Amino acid sequence: MFAFIIRRLLQSVLVMLTVALIAFALFRFVGDPINNLVGQDTTLQDRQKLRETLGLNDSVVVQYWRYVVNTAKGDFGYSYMHRRPVKTMLLERMPATLELSIISILLALFIGVPMGVYTSLRRDGFLAKIFMSISLIGISLPTFLIGIMLILLFGVILRWLPTFGRGEVVALGTWTTGLLTVSGLKALIMPAITLALFQMTLIMRLVRSEMLEVLRTDYIKFARARGLSNRAVNFGHALKNTLVPVITITGLQLGSVIAFAIITESVFQWPGMGRMFIEAVADVDIPVMAAYLCLIALFFVVINLIVDLLYYAVDPRLRVDGGGSGGHG
């Protein structure tokens, strides 16, 4: 168990170092950082001095290491554009993105899994066929189109929901939440649905096909032959086996939901990190871009780690054999 965690941790660190290298390379190869920091009229000597104080004359390796250490401490430098610490900017924007992403993935899970289970158990049912048809739409329509259609219908025509922004937010310490106000919740509905729809159909289809697969296995047939109730067989035995791969996919999807929130945030002008990244790209604001890159990578790595541990908790086959180690309920 410990060896497993240590190994995964080491792998994670390696991934983060690689991402940091890419982020670091952004600074090195996209223009001269000094040009981005000083005005046109700064003298050559002043530039040279700045170089020295910023450590830009040190060797690449030393600079890279300094970058890694700073990044690990959460010090991402200053935004070229806004002249503010990138860390502060990220912290301001993070709650919006995380709230949107997590609500979306929960939505996708709590609707997608039951729909998947239903369609697999009632394969030939009318409702199951409708679900499957709807899921085709969810899978094939691009996110931004769904967003724009929702805005058109509920925002412009019906005027039920706001078409942009986060509504009123409440500050809980440094975290600003939109989940505690009516206007915040209303503002969340359309972006969350937009972002969730694709994941939802993905999860539903995955659950359906996994479940159908599991229902064909010998141990399900044997469970029926032992006289277990349909409920025990379908939900106790089949669903649990279905959820093993679903956990993995959903976990990995959470990472991409956070990353791909960019599109949804742009459509709904959601004040999250994704939109900040888009703005940073337009402004060639390297520190912001680099910080976003590292942060998203960190999310991916942490989520992966959690998924692995969950997987490990669910599937006894992954636990080390013998020595009564399988003895935990």
Q: What are the residues binding other proteins (CB under 8 A)?
A: 217-219, 221-230, 232, 236-237, 240-241, 244, 314-317, 321-322, 324, 326-327, 329
Nearer residue to other proteins within complex by CB, 65 or 235: 235
Contacts of 10 (CB under 8 A, 6+ apart): none
- Amino acid sitting at position 256: S
The whole-angstrom separation of Cα 183 and Cα 282 is 30
Minimum CB distance to other proteins smaller for 39 or for 227: 227
CB of 319 to other proteins, least distance (A): 8
**CA 5/CA 76 separation, integer angstroms:** 28
Helix (H) or strand (E) holding 175: strand 175-177
Helix (H) or strand (E) holding 245: helix 239-267
State the minimum distance, in angstroms, from the CB of residue 230 to other proteins. Answer: 8
Alpha-carbon distance of 25 to 288, in angstroms, equals 14
Smallest gap from Cβ 159 to other proteins, in A, equals: 50
Please compute Rg for the chain using Cα positions.
Answer: 24
CA distances (Å), 287 to each of 28, 36, 39, 197, in order?
11, 11, 18, 32
Closest approach, Cβ 71 to other proteins, in A, equals 40
Find the shortest distance in angstroms from Cβ 133 to other proteins.
23
Q: Which is nearer to other proteins, 146 or 238 (CB)?
A: 238
Identity of the residue, 37 or 220, whose beta carbon is nearer to other proteins in the bound complex: 220
Query: In angstroms, what is the minimal distance from the CB of 268 to other proteins?
Result: 41
Q: Which is nearer to other proteins, 208 or 237 (CB)?
A: 237
DSSP-derived secondary structure letter, 125: -
The total of other beta-carbon atoms located within 10 Å of residue 149's CB is: 12
Least distance from C-beta 329 to other proteins, angstroms? Answer: 7
Distance of CA 323 to the CA centre of its chain: 38
- Taking alpha carbons only, the member of 130, 243, 260, 257 closest to residue 200 is 257
Measured from the CB atom, is 34 or 228 closer to other proteins? 228
Nearer to other proteins among residue 110 and residue 219 (C-beta): 219
SS3 228: coil
